[in-house]
Amino acid sequence: MHVNETDPGTGEERSITSASAAPGDMARAAEKPGEKKKRKVKPQRIEGSTRVVCVFGDPVEHSLSPRMHNAAYRELALDFVYVPFRPAVRRFADAVEAMRTLGIVGANVTLPFKEAAALACDRVTETVRVAGAANTLYFDRGRLVGDNTDGLGFASALGAHGFRIRGKRVLVIGAGGAARAVVWALAEYGAADIVIANRTPGKAKAIAKLFRSHLPGVDHCDLEVLDDFDFLETRQLVVNATSVGLNGRDFLDYSVEATPEDCFHFDLVYAEEPTAFLRMAAEVGRPTIDGRHMLVHQGAAAFKLFTGRRAPVEVMGKAIGIRV
């Protein structure tokens, strides 16, 4: 007897032959009591009408954005595809120009191109002007617009975990482009005070000076503050905006046990396993949020700019292994 069954690994149908299975036996095997029939998701098809969205990064192979966005396109049956590109650092301007030439709908931008992306646009949003970096590029009536959804993604991820920024006292570790977006969001949503700690205090000072007009309580310091018990016990949120602790390396000398028991720890980066920063926090029972949550929410904001549709955030989260 010739039947079709679904391969559990790929979701594709395959043909099998059985000499002895009776129709009743086959039906009973296919429909187990109480088992819900799974909805079959059609594989993504690339046609002549398919619209292209991309992510620029170097490296970019580790990016979860293609997996996340393509899952959303399939869920909404949109004729889009999301692909990764790794332009040479010196050729990034050419890569942006190729968007115009090839009709690419939009792009997300990750390291090390965020600052260059802000300079390559016809116009930028106020968020980009303040943060000095763009992570999302899209076209509006033929003009290339630069936006930064990192801060919104950060704030949305905190909100989804029940953390309210208003009135909170925050420590941000790092002074790069990601830190700027985070400080912008913290100031925008009403944090009580923000301290930026960095190995090079001058960089932290520059960010503090930039945002002090928005929030007088923005200050800076060096990394010695990570061992200052009196200071740490006043913090309600600690954000790691550096790549320190990735790839199995230890995090900085940080007296995490000095923070209050309900102090949230948020690592902007993500990896297959919890980062060293998050492991330290979890070991002493502090609530943690990894960078995939920010990735989903900033990606959802970019998705709306690219497609005009509201993003299916639950589907996007599931695609990268988290529950939103």
From the list 36, 37, 42, 114, the catalytic residue is: 114
Contact 128, 146 (CB under 8 A): yes
H or E, element range at 279: helix 276-283
Please tell me the distance from the alpha carbon of residue 192 to that of residue 210, in angstroms, as a whole number: 17
- Work out the widest C-alpha separation in the chain, in whole angstroms: 79
Please tell me the distance from the alpha carbon of residue 289 to that of residue 274, in angstroms, as a whole number: 10
Taking phi over 0 as left and psi of -120 to 50 as alpha, with beta for the rest, 44 belongs to beta
Alpha carbon separation from 317 to 34, 65, 320 (Å, rounded): 27, 11, 5
Residues with Cβ within 8 Å of 108's Cβ and at least 6 positions away in sequence, in order, are: 53, 54, 55, 56, 65, 135, 136, 137, 299, 302
**Strand-pair partners of 201:** none
Question: In the annotation, is 114 catalytic?
Answer: yes
Contact 6, 12 (CB under 8 A): yes
Please tell me the distance from the alpha carbon of residue 176 to that of residue 180, in angstroms, as a whole number: 6
Token reading at 27: 């039906």
Contact 314, 298 (CB under 8 A): no
The SS3 call for residue 233 is coil
Contact 169, 159 (CB under 8 A): no
Residue 14 has, within 13 A of its CA and on its CB side, a CA count of 7
Catalytic residue IDs:
114
